[in-house]
Chains A and B, each alone.
Chain A
Amino acid sequence: MTHAPRDWSTVLAKAIQKAAESDPQEGGFAEANIHAVEYVVAGRGPDADSSDPETGARMVVNIAAVHVPAFCEASRRDEPKPYKNGYDLNKYGIGTRDPDYKPKNREIVDDALPLDVGVTPDNLYFGAVELNGCGIRFYGDVCLVLKPSAIQSNTVVLDRNSYDLIRAPIRDVVDAEPLDRQADVRQSEAWKLRGLWEVDKGAMAAIKVMGTLGLRQRRFTTGQISEAVRSDEDYMEVLKINSFKTKALQEARFSAADAAHDALTGDRLSQRPSPRLEALMSRFRRRVAENALRDEGVSVRVVTTPGRTKD
């Protein structure tokens, strides 16, 4: 079965045209705002022509601070897979289930992923498209930000979490088909979510931002764009082929909330109430993680606002 990739620029152009048809002024704002999103994603700023190598959309992954020293050590040893995916970590876990057990959900989703010929899911490393934030914090308190040079131009980007393929409304579309066709239909639906890093992520981000912020007769700010490109756990997914090392990192980020929590924990150490052990452990592990990253030449920043990052 062949699948046609989506033309995200056309989708975007149609959205502008539709906005202009209903209200010319709103159409003008939509066009300007869409360009602003594409500029910011490209690292040029809302109205700038030249791109800043430090800014722009990046692939990020979140990882618990406790794992960072091992990632850094594996990078230093030049191991083939310093950063690990769920397949690599099949034996990382507790309980007594067969370590070769493969989660059914993952198998269903992986079978549908819109991958090029020869690419297998076990060699995919999933991340999110992020601007100035600190990623999906559910998955870990350390946000690793990859350099643009670490991402190949033809890297697949999905406009949403691939697990949305087994969620309504896509799941309803699939379930409406006979059983023997469901896998093919699911894969067709997956291809509709697919774009490529270099050519599509700007348009995909613009569509996502417009969908989040809506048509408005106001210009978007960098902070608003950043928040909409990755809003809570609503993100664009990057399917990077092959693992990466610390050398592939532009920086690592901590959230302001964690930084504030650590500061409060430190303050409570000098006077009672004494901090809880879990807070002390988290602070300690983040500090050890920062140490390990800086030893590898990776700078660590605290995200203070969605519009920018600061040391």
Chain B
Amino acid sequence: MRAWRIDTLDARGGLAFASLRDEEASEESAWAANSGIDRPCIFIGAPDFRPEPIVSQAVAFAAGRGAFQTGLFEGETEIPFPTPIAIVEFVRRCFVRSGGGDGSDGGGAGEAPPPPPPGEGPDMPWAPDLGSQEVGEGSHLRSALLQQVAAFASRSEQLSLTDVAAPWSWAGAGTAAKFSRVGPATDSPIVDGPSILAEAALGLIHEMAQRLPPANDPRALAKWLRDSRMLGQTLERLDLWPLLLTAPYFSALTNSIFGVFRRRSEFEGLNYIRDRQNDLAPTMLTHLLFIAGPALDDDDGIVNMVRAWRYWERPFGFAPIASSSHANTDVIADLSRLPIPKDLVGIVGRDARENISLYHALTAFVGSPNAISTMSPNEQRAVFDQILFASACIVGPDGHWPLTSVLAPLRQPSRTQTAAVEALAGDAWAWLAEHLPSHVFAPQVENAILSCSRLRYAT
């Protein structure tokens, strides 16, 4: 059967050659006996993934001298793709999915989350009942998207090696409109956008809090503090603190913050705030751990910070966020420093390590949304929350400047603040929808894509 087939492929590198031809015959020298390799082919390469015509397969097969595999097979069957566009989408999805394995090769592995402290007791429980209900007029993205993922998996099951690919649209999950554009609203807002982003943020805070290293490991502490404050300043940039400091999120936030003391009692400055600042302790600790302030072992610095905070808080009822920068120089590096909740690491594969970052989760999901099919409904929900949050980090708020830079606990966000977060969620979804698969493939091909997060440059 004549079809588009992979000549050579470096799935992780996002590089491939493909041609329109019959299936490779199994007999020796079949290529040479038929048409040889004087057949035009196309080259597909990251990051543009546009097919580029090449006059001969000689360059394609020479790629097999290095990190390119020859052909793509299921058993002895060479997988046929109906169109070049389908093959381009396959290569793109392989490339994106392979991001789930980045950083595991050693050698300048780049940014990574702070590791969980070794040999410590059981994790703090993370099962907050946030009571998020699908109420209000507008679209509910979370449930709609998860239904679409299930439909995607079902459609895949209908395909086979003789009918490998079908176009797919995610429009059923909601309109991918740019909500921050000025003008009359033509689309209903994503009403669960704020809760999706807030719950993802809480999960990240909880996981990061659990990884606070001991005071006698200053190097680990410096890394943790840098990463945790990057997270907090990201939340500021995304205007999420006002939400997190009110019901129903504030109590979950407080539990995570105070959970630090179950593992770490040696930080005098933290103990001072917990024991002597009463109602302001949660906000002060949040600020110190996740936004800015002295180092955690700088006891005098922490006392001075508390005095300054009291000065601001008394007359005004809030304290300014004293972060230093909103620069977003490499958001991928930032996402790579954020550990996702432990329960969700399966998104990158069954044998996933503990130290899976938000970058890994984003690429693993975008490349293979159906990877969540084996997870529980709650885990699926939480994974999607993380993915939309990661997308929000990339698109950022309109103009990339936060709306407010104050911490005012237990004050309901204004309608403006809520609208800003809804717009951010809408923009994040619009960006994410651009990247989700445009084709669904037969299960064997979907499995091949899934396996890309396990590929390693090794013998």
A residues engaging B (CB < 8 A)?
A: 61-76, 81, 84-86, 88-97, 101, 103-106, 108, 126, 136, 138-140, 161-164, 166-168, 171, 175, 233, 261, 266, 269-272, 274-285, 287-289, 291-296
| Contact present for A277 and B366 (CB under 8 Å) | yes
Determine the chain A residues whose CB is within 8 A of the CB of B29 once the complex forms: 104, 108
CB closest residue in chain A, given B95: A278
**1/0 per position for B1-45, CB-CB distance to A under 8 A?**
000000001111111010000001000111110001110000101
User: Contacts A96-B444, A163-B58 given: A138-B110 contact, CB under 8 Å?
Assistant: no
Judged by a CB distance under 8 angstroms, whether B434 is at the interface is yes
Judged by a CB distance under 8 angstroms, whether B127 is at the interface is no
Sample of 9 more A-B contacts, CB < 8 Å, known A97-B73, A278-B49 = A64-B13, A70-B105, A94-B448, A95-B73, A140-B15, A167-B56, A266-B330, A269-B330, A276-B47
| Contact present for B457 and A67 (CB under 8 Å) | yes
Give min CB distance, A248 to chain B, whole Å.
Answer: 16
| Contact present for A108 and B32 (CB under 8 Å) | yes
Separation of A105 and B7 alpha carbons in the complex (Å): 11
Judged by a CB distance under 8 angstroms, whether B98 is at the interface is yes
Question: In the complex, how many residues of chain B place their beta carbon closer than 8 angstroms to a beta carbon of chain A?
Answer: 87
Judged by a CB distance under 8 angstroms, whether B328 is at the interface is yes
Main secondary structure of the interface of A (DSSP, over half): helix
**1/0 per position for B351-369, CB-CB distance to A under 8 A?**
0000000000011001000
Q: Which among A106, A136, A138, A291 has the highest number of chain B CB atoms within 10 Å?
A: A138
| Contact present for B31 and A105 (CB under 8 Å) | yes
CB closest residue in chain B, given A85: B65
CB < 8 Å: which of A70, A171, A261, A269 contacts B331? A269
22 A–B pairs (Cβ distance < 8 Å), ordered by A? A64-B67, A69-B107, A70-B457, A89-B66, A89-B69, A89-B459, A96-B74, A104-B29, A139-B63, A139-B67, A140-B15, A140-B66, A163-B61, A166-B31, A166-B37, A166-B58, A272-B395, A274-B394, A278-B46, A280-B332, A282-B47, A292-B107
CB < 8 Å: which of B45, B108, B459 contacts A72? B108
Judged by a CB distance under 8 angstroms, whether B458 is at the interface is yes
| Contact present for B59 and A287 (CB under 8 Å) | no
CB closest residue in chain B, given A69: B107
Determine the chain B residues whose CB is within 8 A of the CB of A296 once the complex forms: 107
Separation of A161 and B10 alpha carbons in the complex (Å): 19
Separation of A63 and B66 alpha carbons in the complex (Å): 8
Give min CB distance, A11 to chain B, whole Å.
Answer: 23
| Contact present for B69 and A64 (CB under 8 Å) | no
Judged by a CB distance under 8 angstroms, whether B198 is at the interface is no
| Contact present for B36 and A171 (CB under 8 Å) | yes
Give min CB distance, A127 to chain B, whole Å.
Answer: 9
Separation of A86 and B63 alpha carbons in the complex (Å): 9
| Contact present for A69 and B106 (CB under 8 Å) | yes
| Contact present for A89 and B47 (CB under 8 Å) | no
| Contact present for B331 and A89 (CB under 8 Å) | no
Q: Which among B11, B30, B106 has the highest number of chain A CB atoms within 10 Å?
A: B106
Judged by a CB distance under 8 angstroms, whether B307 is at the interface is no
CB closest residue in chain B, given A279: B47
| Contact present for A138 and B45 (CB under 8 Å) | yes
Separation of A62 and B62 alpha carbons in the complex (Å): 12
Determine the chain B residues whose CB is within 8 A of the CB of A67 once the complex forms: 12-13, 67, 105, 457
